[in-house]
Amino acid sequence: MVRHFLRLSDLSATEARAVVERAMALRAHRDPAYRPFVGKTLAMIFTKNSTRTRVSFEAGMARFGGHAMFLHAGTTQLGRDEPIADTARVLSRMCDAIMIRNDSQADQETLAAHSRVPVINGLSDRHHPCQLLADLQCWFEHRGDPRGKIAAWIGDGNNVCHSWIEAAALFGFSLRIATPKGYEPDPAVVASAGRCIELCTDPVAAASGADLIVTDTWTSMGQEAETHKRLAAFAGYQVDRALMAHAKPDAIFMHCLPAHRGEEVSAEVIDGPQSVVWDEAENRLWAQMALLEFLWA
């Protein structure tokens, strides 16, 4: 049966841990002679901007001997209303996997349902599972196994937050989520993770004693018209030095990037000694190559 990766919980806890461990091994050894993907092609469909997701898949495929094909959806026939199911039928006869970044988890599910090859979510309105493989790799690398530890999500209960919720359930850590009222994560995603999730509106309560602080933009792609309303709603939710001081002294700071210094995070935090954001970004490459190895095994 073809395996897809549309949300983090498409992997079991054992599988997710194995992919992250494999990503750590790939990064640690960096063997230029290791080219397991010779002859393989990855199609990458984007309806939204990207720096890290595109480059990590493309550079990773090149490094591992394969080929990645960037498809701006608007310049394909998707942009002229060819059904996504037909796109899946055709691409999956020519390529070995399909990555898609769009604003519809439902469309990704349709794509997967009609694809003969693995479909990978490179970000949707609902989830960003590739990001969490990289983030978990980064947490392991900097501080060891996150099991039993505490992470604090500060800000918007968005797609990345949903994937953090699924990560908490799979990797056995607690996740405290501080959002303004009206910006909470989807209750169904929260409920699916069980008791490891705590919701609140107070960033200090969430951050107190935490091992890791994480945030994301207040205005995700596609929400630009709400920018002013969001800036007002999220005032007081910036991760700054004062908030970091409530976490454990050795707490690390993560952000999927792109970051907005002076909004969701202060420059002194993201550019400071507790920030691991550049390792986190680099890990997109290693984690996704480990994921492709798993999906193609």
Q: Which residues are catalytic?
A: 101, 128, 131, 216, 256, 284
Binding residue for ligand NVA, selected from 92, 158, 266, 288, defined by CB under 6 A: 158
Return the number of the residue (196 or 254) whose C-beta is nearest ligand CP.
Answer: 254
Whether the Cβ atoms of residue 249 and residue 124 lie closer than 8 Å to each other: no
Residues 166-185 that bind ligand NVA (CB under 6 A): none
| Distance (Å, whole) CA 124 – CA 102 | 5
Min CB(162)–ligand NVA separation in Å: 10
**Taking CA 162 as the corner, what is the angle to CA 161 and CA 165, rounded to the nearest 5 degrees?**
90
The item of ligand CP, ligand NVA, none sharing an interface with residue 51, based on CB under 5 to 8 Å by kind, is ligand CP
Binding residue for ligand NVA, selected from 43, 98, 160, 189, defined by CB under 6 A: 160
Min CB(27)–ligand CP separation in Å: 17
Structure tokens at 173: 């850590």
Element (H, E) at 69: strand 67-72
Q: Determine if residue 274 is labeled as part of a ligand binding site.
A: no
| Distance (Å, whole) CA 166 – CA 147 | 14
Residues 13-72 that bind ligand CP (CB under 6 A): 50-53
159 touches ligand NVA (CB under 6 A):
yes
Residue 23 burial by Cβ neighbours in a 10 Å radius (0-12, 13-18, 19+): buried
Could you check whether the bond before residue 258 is cis, i.e. omega within 30 degrees of 0? yes
Residues whose CB falls within 8 Å of the CB of residue 13, separated by 6 or more in sequence, listed in order: 169, 170, 171, 172
Structure tokens at 294: 């798993």
193 touches ligand NVA (CB under 6 A):
no
Min CB(148)–ligand NVA separation in Å: 27
Binding residue for ligand NVA, selected from 24, 213, 256, 277, defined by CB under 6 A: 256
Return the number of the residue (77 or 227) whose C-beta is nearest ligand CP.
Answer: 227
Reference 215, options 190, 234, 188; nearest CA is 234
Task: Count Cβ atoms below 10 Å from residue 240 Cβ, excluding itself.
Answer: 14
The item of ligand NVA, ligand CP, none sharing an interface with residue 159, based on CB under 5 to 8 Å by kind, is ligand NVA
Residues 211-270 that bind ligand CP (CB under 6 A): 256-257
Length of the chain, please?
Answer: 297
> Residues in the site for ligand NVA, rule: CB under 6 A?
123, 158-160, 216-217, 220-221, 256
Q: Which residues are annotated as a binding site for L-ornithine?
A: 159, 216, 220-221
Q: Which residues are annotated as a binding site for carbamoyl phosphate?
A: 50-53, 77, 101, 128-131, 256-257, 284
